[in-house]
Amino acid sequence: QVRQVKTTRVHPDFNMLSYESGIVLMQLDIPLEYNAAVRPVCLSNSRETLSSSYLCTVSGRGIIKENGSRARRLQQTRVPVLENEICERNYYFSHPGGIVARMLSAGFVSVGGQDS
């Protein structure tokens, strides 16, 4: 299904330095038709605590190979939740914003595989 983006809305607390609240809502020009491949996203309760190693689904248009180009289509994968300290040590040690308390890190750090 191909749709055009009608409007976008960036989270009002988005911080470009730390990527905190890095989420955008997009309104499409025509609604999607749900089928076996197109389904709504499942969101957890905002008060639910996700413990380390909890398996979750992430999606995005990130880089699909190391030093590669961005995905043309939305991608998804299942990854374990990481402690923020592990994420900061492996990914953000040189990033000026660091990992903030409201962030959620997930991925396979030791394997060098999928992450978010």
What is the model's pLDDT at position 83? 83
Query: What predicted TM-score, i.e. pTM, was given to this entire model?
Result: 0.63
Residue located via tokens 């299942």:
78
Residues 34, 74 within the same domain: no
What is the model's pLDDT at position 96? 64
What is the model's pLDDT at position 10? 94
Residues 36, 54 within the same domain: no
Residues 97, 53 within the same domain: yes
What is the model's pLDDT at position 9? 96
Residue 65 to residues 62, 69, 109, 114, Cα–Cα distance (Å): 9, 7, 15, 9
What is the model's pLDDT at position 75? 79
Residues 50, 35 within the same domain: no
d(CA 22, CA 97): 13
Domain count, the chain: 2
Pairing state of beta strands 24-28 and 105-106? unpaired
What is the model's pLDDT at position 6? 97
What is the model's pLDDT at position 108? 80
Residues 54, 88 within the same domain: yes
Best CA proximity match to 114, nearest among 75, 73, 74 = 75
Residues 107, 71 within the same domain: yes
What is the model's pLDDT at position 42? 73
Residues 78, 51 within the same domain: yes
Low-confidence ranges of the chain (pLDDT < 50): none
What is the model's pLDDT at position 67? 63
What is the model's pLDDT at position 89? 78
Q: What is the dihedral of CA 25, 26, 31, 32, to 10 degrees?
A: -80
Residue located via tokens 């380390």:
52
What is the model's pLDDT at position 110? 65
Residue 29: which CATH number?
2.40.10.10
Rg over CA atoms, the chain? 16
> Domain range holding 58?
46-115
